[in-house]
Every structure is written in C-alpha cells, then in structure tokens.
Amino acid sequence: MPNASLLDSSLKGLASALAAKTISSVELTRLFLERIGSLNAVLNAFITVDAERSLAQAGSADAARASGSASPLAGIPVAHKDIFCTRGLLTTCGSKMLSNFVSPYDAHVIERFAAAGAVLLGKTNMDEFAMGSSSETSWFGPVKNPWNTGCVPGGSSGGSAAAVAARLAPAATGTDTGGSIRQPAALTGICGIKPTYGVVSRYGMIAFASSLDQGGPMARSAEDLAMLMNVMAGHDPRDSTSLARERENYARDLDRPLEGLRIGLPKEYFGDGVDAEVAARVQEAIREFERLGARTLEVTLPNTRLSVPAYYVLAPAEASSNLSRFDGVRYGHRAANYDNLLEMYRNSRAEGFGAEVKRRILIGTYVLSAGYYDAYYLQAQKLRRLVARDFTAAFRDCDLIMGPTAPGTAFPLGAKTGDPVQMYLIDIFTIAVNLAGLPGMSIPCGFDARGLPVGLQLIGNYFSEARMLAAAHRYQLVTDWHTRVPKETPL
C-alpha cells in the first residue's frame, strides 16, 4: 500500500492492512513519525515525541498480532493531548509550570489505549491548562491550522486537531470543557466527540474545571470515532464522577438508516452573529439529512445567551481551586529567587502561569470570595440549571439537535488575543452542552470562500453517542467533506 494511502487511511483501513500483514506496526509508526518530523516545525502540533518508545510499542503490537491476540486498534499510532498524564513522559499541559514534569503514572485514557495495543505517537500541543479557544496560549507557542498556517486551529485541543487534519496522526485524544474538542474539530475539518459527562474517566487528566471537563476522541470520520469510543469509555472506580454503566458498542448503529430521525433546529443557533457562509453550509448539510430520511423541526433553547456568562463564572471558579496545587513545592516550576515561603509561592506562580491562566484564576478567586459567592457563583449555578432544562424540554420533541459548531471559520493568529470577550464568544454554541453534561460532536460540512472548513454540531440526549455517531456516519457515506486533505500539508 503506498505511503500516501496509508497516511490518509481510516482506522478500519489501517487495522485491515495490519491484519493482512501488508504493513507492520513498526513500518506504519515510522511513517507517521517521519511525517511529524517534516511538518511539526511548521504546525507546532506536538510538544513531545519519543520515537524510540513509539517504535518499541509498535514492535510489541506486531508480536501480539502475530500471536493472534490483537484488538482492532493494536499497532495503530494515536496521539494524546498533553493533558493526560503519561508514565515516564513529559506531561506539560502546555504550561511553563509543568514544563519539567514527568508523570509517574498513566491516566485512565492512556491505560485504555495501551491495553488495546495502540501505539503512543506523542503528546500534542494545547492551550495552557486547556484555557483558550485558539491554541495560542501554550508556553510552547501557538499551533497553526493546516488549512492556512496563518490561522488558528481552534482550542484548546488544537494540537490534536491539527495533527489529525494534517495526517500527522490517524487519531488523537482531546478534552472538552466548553467546546475544546468540537470547536478545533470544526476549524480544522475533522470529527470530534465530547461524550456524556462521566462516560470517559477523568483520572489522570489534569483538571481545569472538574464539573465540565470530559475527554473524547478526534479522528477523520464518525466511524473512526466509534472505534475510539469503544476503547476510551468505561467505568473507573478511581474517578468519583465516572459512571458505572454496562459497556457499549458505539459502532452498533452505524448501519441504521435515518428514516424517522427527528432533528431539532434551535432558532437561537441561526440568528445574528453567525457568519453567512457558515449558516449556508450548515443549512445545506441539514437538507442532506432530510434527503436521507430525517425530519426537521424548530426547537428553542432560550437560555443559550446565558451560557457564556454562566460558564465564565463557574469554570474560572473551579480552575482557581484546581490550580492552587501548583505552588512550586511538590512538583512543577519553582522560582529561583525568593526570601521566604510566601514569596516562593508568589514568584513560582507568577513565572509559571501565562496571562490567560492568571486571568481566570483571578476571576475564579473573586467570584468565590466572601461577599461575592452568592452574587456570582450561586447565580451562575442557577443559570446552569436553566440551560439544562432547555435541553430536557427540546429533547421531548426531537432525537438530535443540529446547528453550527462555531459562529465562524478559523481566524488569523493574534486576531482576538487582545480581546478576551471576543475570544470567549467563539464557544457560544458549544458551552451549553458542557453545562448540561450532554454529548456533542462536530463533523465537517463544507468550506467557506477562503477554503476554510465549516463544522456541523450534533447534540444528543444523555448516553445517545451511538445514535449521534450513526447519524453522522450516514451523512458521511454520501458526502466527502471529511476526506479532504489540507492543501498546505499535501500527502
């Protein structure tokens, strides 16, 4: 099989090639490592790559396949967002604070992929501590969008998104606190899913906002996402928020036709603020779903406008608490100059955290402080409940909700870094899903006039990931948006 075909192959195709022994895992891993070597200097998608470790894992996968004991993902290289602790490897969270941190243990997600025989290809770049919507806040520098390297790839899982889009990796993991899987997937023309809160364990996933964070996969197609979900999902007793549910096969409904599927279209997602080309591509995608047998109806999510202010009270409040552990004492960055313990804390945190992280810690500390807790944090929790109730009401009438993932396509690097509010509004259509704990995904549905990808968001009721993946798969059987390769990173 030619190299270009392998780089552009689906996970199912790669598994078939490995099973047929047309290529070994060592050869396949070396192929992706070579592509990372040639393109990462431009894209800055990876923070850490350990070729020796990756090739050793590939050799073990080849031995497992030879013995007949391999799982479907055995020998397939997968990149991991640098927020998942990985034993014996740098885990930086995109921050100077953790730039020297080598984890002594594996996150649950890393364990699951290792048990499946997947090869750890490397750790991907990200917004610092997952705080950002453009992958520009990383201490290791911004990630570039493979469709236009002068533009952002979205955030905070921008490194994973760019790696998959540019075919530096066939699949990657990400995390989603307010849209950080779906939004970069939309801006780079790939697929990504945020599962129902609690479906994927957060053990070993460095916390930003614990009640919102959720890990999920990123890949080229819905079918690939289903394969990855079968590995990632599952109960973990080490995570108190992990749900004890019977294991699912997320690929079980991929052949299910769309006849009878009810798609809700929130009027709040198609009003002012949405780029005209984005709206047009999304409407075209919805018409394709109708041609495939789905029925559409208007629904309303009246508290959508409240989701951004609620989120930017709750998420910083939780971040303020979670990031208090980074004090220069136990691990991570410690300032070189200080005269006493308090000064060591202060200097270490001042040097170790970037501007966006400091901004959110300050906001979070403020809203949790005496005299402001009731006025801000408590009110935001009430708004969160209203947002969740909107979805509960909408799902009485529909099976899935659809709309744009982001109000626009990828914007130039540096265009919004001076205006945090404009940056925060990029996640207007994704944040509510996290507040409600629902599953959501983004799939590509076209391009704008500049050749930049547009994402279609699918939102499901709790534990409806298999149905969402099936709907996306049926759409992808009759469209080819998910197969397009960025011109700036040709195969």
pLDDT tens sequence for the chain (491 residues): 468 899 999 999 999 999 999 999 999 999 999 999 999 999 999 999 999 999 999 999 999 999 988 899 999 999 999 999 999 999 999 999 999 999 999 999 999 999 999 999 999 999 999 999 999 999 999 999 999 999 999 999 999 999 999 999 999 999 999 999 999 999 999 999 999 999 999 999 999 999 999 999 999 999 999 999 999 999 999 999 999 999 999 999 999 999 999 999 999 999 889 999 999 999 999 999 999 999 999 999 999 999 999 999 999 999 999 999 999 999 999 999 999 999 999 999 999 999 999 999 999 999 999 989 999 999 999 999 999 999 999 999 999 999 999 999 999 999 999 999 899 999 999 999 999 999 999 999 999 999 999 999 999 999 999 999 999 999 999 999 999 999 889 98
Are 9 and 485 in contact, with CB atoms under 8 Å apart? no
- 12 part of the active site: no
Residue 129 is part of which domain span? 3-257
| Selected catalytic residue, list 54, 81, 144, 242 | 81
Give the pairing of strands 453-460 and 440-447: antiparallel
CA distance 423 to 425: 5
Output the CA angle 51-101-41, nearest 5 degrees. Answer: 45
CA distance 352 to 420: 21
CA distance 349 to 358: 9
The pair of structure tokens assigned to 121 is 């290809």
Residue 43 lies in a domain: yes
Q: What is the CATH number of the domain that holds 202?
A: 3.90.1300.10
- pLDDT at position 334 is 97
Residue 296 lies in a domain: no
CA distance 478 to 472: 10
CA distance 403 to 456: 6
- 24 part of the active site: no
- 180 part of the active site: yes
Q: What is the pTM of this model?
A: 0.97
| Selected catalytic residue, list 9, 25, 54, 156 | 156
DSSP per-residue codes, 389-455? HHHHHHTTT-SEEEEESSSS---BTTSSTT-HHHHHGGGTTTHHHHHHT--EEEEEEEE-TTS-EEE
Residue 373 lies in a domain: no
Residue 457 lies in a domain: no
Residue 343 lies in a domain: no
Closest by CA to 135, choosing from 363, 367, 411, 378, is 411
CA distance 423 to 420: 5
| Selected catalytic residue, list 95, 103, 138, 180 | 180
Residue 321 lies in a domain: no
CA distance 373 to 364: 10
Single-letter code of the amino acid located at 460: G
CA distance 283 to 280: 5
- pLDDT at position 69 is 82
- pLDDT at position 2 is 65
Max alpha carbon distance in the chain (Å)? 70
User: How many domains does the chain fold into?
Assistant: 1
